[in-house]
Amino acid sequence: MSAAVLILLVQFYQIDQLVGAGNGEQEKLRYVDAGARYREALTLAARFGDVPAKALAVHNLATSEYRLGRYEDADAHYRESIRIWESQGRTADLAFALSNFAELRQARGNNADALAVSTRAIALGEQTGRLSGSMLTIHGNILRTAGRIAESRVVLRRAVQQYAGKPPSTKKAFSLTSLAQAELTASDFPSARSAAQEASDLLAELTGKDHVQYGHSVALLGRIARAEGDLRTAEIQTREALLVFERILGTEHPRLIPALADLAEILSRRQRYTDAEALLKRAERLARAALGEQHPDFAALLLSQGDIYRSARRMPEAEQAYARALSLAETAYQGGSQIASYLNNYATLLFDLNRKSESESLFRRALSLREARYGPMHLENADTLLNLAIICAESGRLTDAQPLVERSLAIRQHYYGDRHNSLLPGLTAYSFILKKTGNPKRAKEVGQMASLIEASEPERRNKVDWKALQTFR
């Protein structure tokens, strides 16, 4: 072996060792140390003219920067790795880099761009036979964010299947957590809980409980509990997740933002408005620093802020927050179905302020978008239908109100059965409408159904939006 070849092998070995050391640090979530190793590898690769090694080092450096919330640096480095792999004709490596870049674009709020990049990554992965569960998971998450829920669930189930018969791994847990989120978005609570619990148990076994992925799985279990109305369990699990994130990432990392917002919403629903507002202000400060005020996540925080102010009856502040949130969301999502929640919550405030005409217009826009995104039987449609029924009933349009409230009740009964406390507002409204339309016998039957539920679960009143009950009593 010549001296030149020996020197070359030593150089390759040095670069490989540094990249491997960086990967080890990254696996332990020590992203600053990982970045330092990747930078050393990048320097050597540039010095020795090792282009493939440079691409790998710069790609892995981008991932570390993304995990640290340094999105601008990560964006530049992902682009560089993509350029190198493309120029080298390394299609499988290019697909992998594109997939990770798509995830970053989504995190930065560039949803349309993220979907286009991810779609290309999936096509290249299929073409080379190197399509991984991680790439499918990223694509499924982007589809969910884009409102393509049915497609997202199919892709994410396929991602989980990629790990069938293989040893347990954190990558499988990532796919399970993502699938649980898609099932939650579709209001399939049992499937969501099953996938999230499997992911959480798997991560506790593989990584222990001081791991970011474990924290995400627990946070998701908290969101599922909140959606089901179990606010006590939701608060416990969300606080646990937040503590995990703070121990690992510190108190100033942007990845704390969703957990802070989740906990604020739970506390608001439990009427602890001061604590909820403090958590949201902390989340807003982190979002402003890491993402900027034009990011969709910042709009979501303003929406939550409006919810808290409305619940606390601070109406001028609520309207200001809702109006700004809706404006940002309409710009970010270009009028897409993601703005339905912004329209719905703003409409609810206008209803409370007795601005019924404005309220009805926004409710109808929200319902149209939600039905287009989720179909007619999605749980989120129930509240909007009920609110529209109330507006129609109060304005004397009882024949319009009746089918709306019937549809609202049918959706809730589909998910919760006939005895769940969330049926109370709709049953009370329905009884009132039946009485006014000349059907007192049926009105009495519906009223008795409401009374039975109310008597059987009085301790769960805090989980119901009682506005409709007050309207009709």
pLDDT band with cut points at 50, 70 and 90 for residue 28: low
Q: pLDDT digit string (tens) for 337-384?
A: 778 889 999 999 999 999 989 999 999 999 998 888 778 888 888 989
The confidence score (pLDDT) of residue 462 equals 38
Share of the chain above pLDDT 70, in %: 89
Q: Judge whether 217 lies within some domain.
A: no
* Span of 34-48, 226-240, 300-314 with lowest mean pLDDT: 34-48
Token reading at 90: 């390394």
Q: Judge whether 187 lies within some domain.
A: no
Average the pLDDT over 322-335 and give the result. 86
* DSSP character string of 209-268: SSSHHHHHHHHHHHHHHHHTT-HHHHHHHHHHHHHHHHHHH-SS-GGGHHHHHHHHHHHH
The confidence score (pLDDT) of residue 120 equals 95
The residue among 150, 208, 149, 153 whose CA lies nearest residue 175 is: 153
CATH of the domain at 418: 1.25.40.10
CB 270 within 8 Å of CB 235: yes
CB 328 within 8 Å of CB 300: no
Q: pLDDT digit string (tens) for 205-215?
A: 988 888 888 99
pLDDT band with cut points at 50, 70 and 90 for residue 460: very low
Report whether pLDDT(193) > 90: yes
| Average pLDDT taken over every residue of the chain | 85
Q: Judge whether 403 lies within some domain.
A: yes
CB 86 within 8 Å of CB 117: no
Q: Which residues are within 8 A (CB) of 448 and not within 5 positions of it... i.e. 6 or more apart?
A: none
Q: pLDDT digit string (tens) for 248-288?
A: 888 988 889 999 999 999 999 899 999 999 999 999 998 88
Q: Judge whether 322 lies within some domain.
A: no
Q: Judge whether 411 lies within some domain.
A: yes
Cα→Cα distances 466→269, 319, 352, Å: 12, 20, 12
Number of domains within the chain: 1
CB atoms inside a 10 Å sphere around CB 237: 26
Q: Judge whether 364 lies within some domain.
A: yes
CB 234 within 8 Å of CB 220: no
Report whether pLDDT(2) > 60: no
Q: Judge whether 465 lies within some domain.
A: yes
Q: Which residues are within 8 A (CB) of 170 and not within 5 positions of it... i.e. 6 or more apart?
A: 203, 206, 207, 213
pLDDT band with cut points at 50, 70 and 90 for residue 154: very high
The residue among 433, 409, 435 whose CA lies nearest residue 423 is: 409
Q: Judge whether 445 lies within some domain.
A: yes
Q: The domain containing residue 460 runs over which residues?
A: 358-473
